Structure 1
Amino acid sequence: MGEFDLITRYFKRPATRSPLGVGDDCALLAPAAGMQLAVSSDMLVEGRHFLSTVAPARLGHKALAVNLSDLAACGAKPLAFTLALALPGVDEPWLEGFSRELFALADAHGCELVGGDTTRGPLNICITVFGEVPAGGALLRSGARAGDDLWVSGSLGDARLALEVFRGTIALSATAFDAARARMEQPTPRVALGQALRGIATSAVDVSDGLIGDLGHILASSRVGATLDADAATALIALDTTGLPTEVLRTCALSGGDDYELVFTAPASARAAVEQAGQASATRVTRIGRIEADAGLRIVDASGAPVPQRFGSFDHFV
């Protein structure tokens, strides 16, 4: 099977948002009146971002999910995406599973494939996603203010627990491991929550490299500091972790990565509105700290005592 036969069989679909669809040299996109385009790219490299043992269907889901998560963090509505795919060779069962779940997630969010590229090489997936957001209404990293509450969506640490099982550093029950692995390989982008938080949240970022590291982007961009309740964050691990040390659980929740939740800030006066946004998007939201004028991040336990444990975040070049 040649390159263009592969594209036609597995990736060519009718597209309405670009009049050219898939197959021309460019896609043509225009936001609706009063809207801005939100654009983001993410690359997934085998051995760095995913294990070689991941099922192709789950990889198809994750490849798009991590990009939709970026749109969610900006409060944007998905429109379209492009796919650049390097493959070691033509593996039709792999392509069938990958494309099926890629499009299942795309269809769930009304996001159309409008172009891309394929080539032979080590397995590498790069998606660029396009969304739209009201002009001037995007959620940014730079809007947090002293006195704001610090919130996070969903659960934390589950994906890192799965990774630690693969590494052989911890053990989980079969049920807990299956759930953790699903969280690592099939994250849920919080697209509906991001849109519901427009006009409420003062800043937002998605948790891809770990809560501590990604929160740091908000603090740096907003020129503020924060106090974070480590126990409140660790309590958001959704699995049965009986027998695991507190230090391990805190590491997974605070610096684990691959959560693809939203960490965001909002004024204390907006607590009811944040809760309503969570309910409207069927997403749990939890307060885990507060924004402060003094620079730096202070990590405390439930009693307010400083946590001496040190935490990091994922870095592609470390």
Structure 2
Amino acid sequence: MGEFELIRHYFAAASCAQGGEGVVLGIGDDCALLSVPSGEQLAISTDTLVAGVHFPAVCDPFLLGQRSLAVAASDLAAMGATPIGFTLALTLPTVHADWLQAYARGLNQMAESCQLSLIGGDTTRGPLSLTITVFGRTPGGLALTRSGAQVGDLLCVGGDLGNAAGALPLVLGERSADAGQADPLLAHYWSPQPQLALGQALRGKATAALDISDGLLADCGHIAKSSQVALQVELERLPLSAALQTFLGRQGAQQAALAGGDDYVLAFTLPEAELAPLLGAGWPIRVVGRVTAGRGVSLIDGRGQDITPDTRGYQHFKETP
């Protein structure tokens, strides 16, 4: 099957490739054409997932289709963006019809859930990797960024932390567990749900935001650096699921939440006065700390003691001294 036939058969015919709001022209030409309303800005982000680095080389392609788009769409949530569309650059060692059909099905399901239209991409031969670029829009001046946190703000997250990191031993076949423990952890790893609606609700309210991909401590470091403030995380306030604590124990669950990564839950700073109205509207917000004067990120225990660990999250390329 040639490149263009592959695209037509598995992707161009999918429901997510039939256009949508903001898509003037999708698959079929050299470029897609997008329309952004006057007064709004275009938000763009690219993620690459490589077999053996971001996911096991042998895995369920349907679940991989969901995961590959979800992790990219989460960047739109972090900016408070309304989704428009995405492109897919797919590198395959070989063409297997069953694999492609299952992958395209998982991709389409997540695209419909996120209201993202497939608007183009590329296919080529090589080691399995997936590069997805997502496009969204935000009202001018209201995009959430990492650089606005203020001393006195609350440090918040959008839900339980550590579930995906807890699932990793299950994904790699290093451990097993009964369905009650394993299923919610595996669901979070393979089918994270980008917090798009929460991100939009935080526009004009949160002072800084990002999505947690490399671990709470590591990612909060980006907010601290960009905003030139310090973030203080309180160990006892970490939101941990019952499944994670049963599977890893409380200390193991805390470590997964702090440095495990792959949560794709929003972390954001919020003026204290904004918290009650958001909670009253039903948003799943948990306070995990506070913004203070200074620099960097610290972890404190229930007695207020600094217990900041040396390892704070995942890095692809560790800095050398």
TM range (shorter): over 0.9
Structure 1 residue 310: Cα displacement: 3.6
Equivalent pair of 2:111/2:117 in contact (CA under 8 Å): yes
Q: Over residues 262-301 of structure 1, what are the superposed CA-to-partner deviations in whole Å (9 max), with x where a residue is unaligned?
A: 0000111111133245x1xxx5210000000122322112
Q: Over residues 125-153 of structure 1, what are the superposed CA-to-partner deviations in whole Å (9 max), with x where a residue is unaligned?
A: 00100000000000000000000000001
Tell me whether 1:268 sits opposite 2:263 in the alignment: no
Equivalent pair of 2:261/2:314 in contact (CA under 8 Å): yes
Matches within 5 A, 1:156-171: 156-166=161-171
Equivalent pair of 1:156/1:238 in contact (CA under 8 Å): no
Tell me whether 1:241 sits opposite 2:258 in the alignment: no
Q: Which residue of 2 aligns with 1:123?
A: 128
Give RMSD over aligned pairs: 1.8
Matches within 5 A, 1:179-194: 179-194=184-199
Of stretches 19-28 and 37-46 in structure 1, the one that deviates more from structure 2 is 19-28
Task: Tell me how far apart the structure 2 counterparts of residues 290 and 169 of structure 1 sit (CA, whole Å).
Answer: 37
SS in 2 for 1:208: coil
Task: Tell me how far apart the structure 2 counterparts of residues 306 and 252 of structure 1 sit (CA, whole Å).
Answer: 19
Q: Which residue of 2 aligns with 1:202?
A: 207
Structure 1 residue 185: Cα displacement: 1.1
SS in 1 for 2:72: helix
Question: With structure 1 as the length reference, what TM-score do the two structures score?
Answer: 0.93
Of stretches 103-112 and 238-247 in structure 1, the one that deviates more from structure 2 is 238-247
Task: Tell me how far apart the structure 2 counterparts of residues 258 and 98 of structure 1 sit (CA, whole Å).
Answer: 20
Question: With structure 2 as the length reference, what TM-score do the two structures score?
Answer: 0.92
For 1:161, give the aligned amino acid. G
Equivalent pair of 1:84/1:118 in contact (CA under 8 Å): yes
Distance 1:3 1:291, change over 3 A: same
Matches within 5 A, 1:61-210: 61-166=66-171, 172-210=177-215
Structure 1 residue 168: Cα displacement: 7.2
Distance 1:22 1:310, change over 3 A: same
Q: Which runs of 5+ in 1 are unaligned?
A: none
Equivalent pair of 1:172/1:241 in contact (CA under 8 Å): no
Structure 1 residue 309: Cα displacement: 4.2
Matches within 5 A, 1:216-235: 216-233=221-238, 235=239
Q: Over residues 167-195 of structure 1, what are the superposed CA-to-partner deviations in whole Å (9 max), with x where a residue is unaligned?
A: 67766444212321221111110000000
Equivalent pair of 1:155/1:238 in contact (CA under 8 Å): no
**Identity of counterpart residues, as a percentage?**
45
SS in 2 for 1:11: helix
Equivalent pair of 1:78/1:132 in contact (CA under 8 Å): yes
Q: Which residue of 1 aligns with 2:298?
A: 298
Structure 1 residue 165: Cα displacement: 4.1
Q: Which residue of 2 aligns with 1:23?
A: 28
Task: Tell me how far apart the structure 1 counterparts of residues 302 and 82 of structure 2 sit (CA, whole Å).
Answer: 36
Task: Tell me how far apart the structure 2 counterparts of residues 196 and 128 of structure 1 sit (CA, whole Å).
Answer: 23
Structure 1 residue 5: Cα displacement: 0.9
SS in 2 for 1:33: coil
SS in 1 for 2:85: strand
Equivalent residue in structure 1 for 2:259, among 250, 255, 260: 255
For 1:11, give the aligned amino acid. F
Task: Tell me how far apart the structure 2 counterparts of residues 54 and 237 of structure 1 sit (CA, whole Å).
Answer: 25
Distance 1:93 1:152, change over 3 A: same
Structure 1 residue 107: Cα displacement: 1.7
Q: Which residue of 1 aligns with 2:286?
A: 286
Structure 1 residue 237: Cα displacement: 3.2
Task: Tell me how far apart the structure 2 counterparts of residues 171 and 255 of structure 1 sit (CA, whole Å).
Answer: 22
For 2:313, give the aligned amino acid. S
SS in 1 for 2:29: coil
Equivalent pair of 1:82/1:114 in contact (CA under 8 Å): yes
Q: Over residues 239-271 of structure 1, what are the superposed CA-to-partner deviations in whole Å (9 max), with x where a residue is unaligned?
A: 153374544222101001000000000111111
Distance 1:243 1:31, change over 3 A: closer
Distance 1:91 1:206, change over 3 A: same
- How many residue pairs match? The answer is 313
